[in-house]
Amino acid sequence: MIYWTALQAIVWREALRFIHQRERFVAALVRPLIWLLVFAAGFRAALGLSIIPPYQTYITYQTYIVPGLCGMILLFNGMQSSLSLIIDRELGSMKLLLTCPLPRWWLLLSKLIGATMISVLQVYAFLAVAAGFGIKLPAFGYVAIAPALMITGLMLGALGLFLSSFIKQLENFSGVMNFVIFPMFFLSSALYPLWKMAESSVLLHNICAANPFTHGVELIRFAAYLKWNFPALGWTVFSTAIFTALALWGYNSARSSKS
Amino acid sequence: MILRSALFLSLLSSAAWSDEIWVTNEKDDTVSVIDVDTLEVIQTYPTGERPRGITFSHDFSRLYICASDSNSVQVMDPNTGEILHDLPSGEDPEQFVLHPDDVHLYIANEDDAITTVVDVETRRVVAQIDVGVEPEGMAVSPDGKIAITTSETTNMAHWIDTETQELFANTLVDSRPRHAEFTRDGKQMWVSSEIGGTVTVFDVETQTEIGKMEFEIAGIHPDRVQPVGFEFSEGDETVFVALGPANHIAAVNAETFEVEDYILVGRRVWHMAFNGDKSQLFTTNGVSGDVTVIDVASREAIKTIKVGRFPWGAAYRPTN
């Protein structure tokens, strides 16, 4: 029962933090919308897309990048939640949280779930705006992507959590931007299909194929079109488990090194 | 017992046969047969060289194919895929239309600037009518009294009296007219102009222009918007126009002549055919070598099916 109460409290805290930071919500929405309505519109004719699963026919570039932009929201939010942990640590509220008489893994997991739920809500807000501009998913796709968004969100949140355990100061966060967010996003199938990447460089294609973010995006893409992608699911769940374990290890070692 | 079961299964499977869309593959010298239910190619038959125009006899027992580079119209048995015989079509037949009498085939001979009228029963040429340079589009009015040939280089629609087999009017249209169709009530005749980028509507009684539509797709250069084939929906409310290298089908309101939607299909869309109840539209995409299936109600492309190289014409065949 106390576990459930703690989970509720942490999720509620994340929700309150989100509600009070409206500019964060707007920023999270504007970023993918600029990609969708400006970048994708500009590249609409330049990037010819052949028919690749899960698509059954020709699609516009804007339709292609929607799952990637859902992943982008999850990626930025996952990293942002790690930023908030660093702020918590600097303000001392982290110490308060971690001294709670519950296992650390549960507290961190609750934090992860709370942050991911907020991210998923933002994805749906983005999809609603995109639909307003005529860029829609199949009707049932909106329901089917929920678990895929949750799993991918947990994976990226766990990665952020792991990174935050090693970043001691807020100033160091820019490194995450340069060395984690940008490479993860651009070296993935979010903006271009992997076969397109293979045309220019096999090495880049292989890096993209190994990127967990690629698998998260593909999981969302297939779910949106009501198709299973078991390799993507397997890789995303596996990466989530690894990143979560690393995050727990990072926070345990951080605590033991402090004590 | 085994025999009876086999017979039952065979009857069951034949009853379950679904309707088909037949597609000519210009570069493969074949026709592909698409199952309308499974949306898969179920058969491919060889034809003469460069098959383009395709149409069925009214009872669907014979398939006519314009084998342009073989200079013949071939007659195929659609049940076996066997070429039964050739018709004397004249040089380089590209498009044709079957008269409502189910006997006279009006064939555009692109290289000879003539329209050839062939009796499909006697297999004889009934008439040859001089038209403009590079005739292509062919249409016949629902009452069978008027046939239309459009000439690509002369930029005209030529009006043929089917009783006398003589021209009675010529009307100018925009550059390179490729396709013509009458409305079901026979009051309007529509012509697409590939280079002009327009579709022009004529009043049949006076042969005067009553409307014209242009097309504009965001992000696509106007030069690539080249209307070619088009078809009327059930009830003639909407006209679906293939826009060639623009890779889109335009849905046009047939009353207001306004473009309501653009639907993305494969590369260089040429022509199209509806299924039986006109709920699905099958477009032939020449360069990408496939056929896109459009759900007419939602106006969305639902699937693209790989066929042969450079699919061109399409025709529907019910099998039940």
Backbone angles phi, psi at A197, to 5 degrees: -65, -40
Residue B265 to residue A60, Cβ atoms within 8 A: no
DSSP string computed for A6-74: HHHHHHHHHHHHHHH-HHHHHHHHHHHHHIIIIIHHHHTTTS-----TT-SS---HHHHHHHHHHHHHH
Contact B228, B269 (CB under 8 A): yes
**Residue B9 confidence (pLDDT):** 47
Among B147, B180, B214, where does a domain finish?
A: B214
Average the pLDDT over B74-95 and give the result. Answer: 91
Helix and strand numbers, DSSP H then E, in chain A: 13, 0
Residue B301 to residue A45, Cβ atoms within 8 A: no
Domain that holds residue B208: 88-214
Contact B48, B84 (CB under 8 A): no
Residue B264 to residue A44, Cβ atoms within 8 A: no
In a domain, B108, yes or no: yes
**Residue B1 confidence (pLDDT):** 46
Residue A58 to residue B303, Cβ atoms within 8 A: no
Contact B312, B51 (CB under 8 A): yes
Handedness of CA B125, B72, B194, B273 (dihedral sign): positive
B164 shares its domain with B113: yes
Contact B160, B166 (CB under 8 A): yes
B73 shares its domain with B100: no
In a domain, B126, yes or no: yes
In a domain, B9, yes or no: no
**Residues in chain B closer than 8 A to A58 (CB atoms):** 247, 264-266, 292, 301, 304
For residue B300, the chain A residue with the least C-alpha distance is: A57
Average the pLDDT over A203-217 and give the result. Answer: 93
**Residue B190 confidence (pLDDT):** 97
Mean pLDDT across chain A? 83
Tell me the three state secondary structure of residue A79: helix
In a domain, B14, yes or no: no
DSSP string computed for B269-282: EEEEEE-TTSSEEE
The predicted-structure confidence for B301-311, as pLDDT tens digits, reads as follows 999 999 999 99
B265 shares its domain with B163: no
Helices A230-258, A141-164: axis angle to 10 degrees equals 30
B122 shares its domain with B154: yes
In a domain, B220, yes or no: no
Q: Which residue among B220, B265, B266 sits closest to A45, beta carbon to beta carbon?
A: B220
The predicted-structure confidence for A116-146, as pLDDT tens digits, reads as follows 998 999 999 999 999 998 888 999 999 999 9
Residues 229-258, chain B: which have Cβ within 8 Å of A?
Answer: 247
Domain that holds residue A104: 2-258
Tell me the three state secondary structure of residue B67: strand
Q: Which helix (H) or strand (E) holds B218?
A: none
Tell me the three state secondary structure of residue A110: helix
pLDDT tier for residue B33 given thresholds of 50, 70 and 90: very high
Q: What is the rounded distance in angstroms from the CA atom of residue A104 to the CA atom of residue A11? A: 16
Q: What is the rounded distance in angstroms from the CA atom of residue A130 to the CA atom of residue A67? A: 11
B65 shares its domain with B145: no
Number of compact structural domains in chain A? 1
Of A19 and B26, the structure prediction assigns the larger pLDDT to B26
**Residue A47 confidence (pLDDT):** 54
B219 touching A, CB under 8 A? Answer: yes
pLDDT tier for residue A178 given thresholds of 50, 70 and 90: confident
The predicted-structure confidence for A61-72, as pLDDT tens digits, reads as follows 888 999 999 999
**Residue B228 confidence (pLDDT):** 96
Starting at the edge strand found earlier in the chain, the sheet holding B259-264 runs B230-232, B238-242, B248-253, B259-264
Residue B219 to residue A45, Cβ atoms within 8 A: yes
Q: What is the rounded distance in angstroms from the CA atom of residue B253 to the CA atom of residue A144? A: 35
Cα-to-chain-centroid distance, residue A128: 18
CA atoms within 13 A on the CB side of A57: 22
**Residue A254 confidence (pLDDT):** 55
Minimal CA separation from B247 to chain A, in Å: 10
Residue B103: pLDDT over 80: yes
Q: What is the rounded distance in angstroms from the CA atom of residue B311 to the CA atom of residue B51? A: 9
A59 touching B, CB under 8 A? Answer: yes
B198 shares its domain with B115: yes
pLDDT tier for residue B299 given thresholds of 50, 70 and 90: very high
Starting at the edge strand found earlier in the chain, the sheet holding B93-98 runs B93-98, B104-109, B114-119, B124-130
Residue A58 to residue B220, Cβ atoms within 8 A: no
The predicted-structure confidence for B128-175, as pLDDT tens digits, reads as follows 999 999 999 999 999 999 999 999 999 999 999 999 999 999 999 999
Among B161, B179, B214, where does a domain finish?
A: B214
Backbone angles phi, psi at B256, to 5 degrees: -95, -10
B194 shares its domain with B138: yes
The predicted-structure confidence for B35-73, as pLDDT tens digits, reads as follows 999 999 999 999 999 999 999 999 999 999 999 999 899
Tell me the three state secondary structure of residue A200: helix
Phi/psi class of residue B71: alpha, beta or left (left: φ > 0; alpha: ψ in -120 to 50)? left
Q: Which residue among B218, B220, B303 sits closest to A57, beta carbon to beta carbon?
A: B303
Among B194, B214, B234, where does a domain finish?
A: B214
Residue A177: pLDDT over 80: no
Q: What is the rounded distance in angstroms from the CA atom of residue B214 to the CA atom of residue B201? A: 12
The predicted-structure confidence for A182-202, as pLDDT tens digits, reads as follows 889 999 998 888 887 888 888
Number of compact structural domains in chain B? 2
Rounded to the nearest 5 percent, the helix, strand and coil shares of chain A are 80, 0, 20
B102 shares its domain with B204: yes
Token pair for A199: 């045309």
Average the pLDDT over A28-44 and give the result. Answer: 80
B148 shares its domain with B32: no
**Residue B4 confidence (pLDDT):** 54
Residue B264 to residue A56, Cβ atoms within 8 A: no
pLDDT tier for residue B14 given thresholds of 50, 70 and 90: very low
Complex-level ipTM beyond the 0.85 threshold: no
* CATH number of the domain encompassing residue B58: 2.130.10.10
Minimal CA separation from A77 to chain B, in Å: 32
Q: What is the rounded distance in angstroms from the CA atom of residue B40 to the CA atom of residue B24? A: 15
Minimal CA separation from A189 to chain B, in Å: 22
A256 touching B, CB under 8 A? Answer: no
B146 shares its domain with B208: yes
For residue B292, the chain A residue with the least C-alpha distance is: A57
Q: What is the rounded distance in angstroms from the CA atom of residue A101 to the CA atom of residue A258? A: 18
Q: What is the rounded distance in angstroms from the CA atom of residue B289 to the CA atom of residue B250? A: 20
B231 shares its domain with B210: no
Contact B276, B259 (CB under 8 A): no
Contact A208, A216 (CB under 8 A): no
B47 shares its domain with B139: no
Contact partners, residue B203, CB within 8 Å, separation at least 6: B187, B188, B209, B210
Tell me the three state secondary structure of residue A88: helix
For residue B267, the chain A residue with the least C-alpha distance is: A58
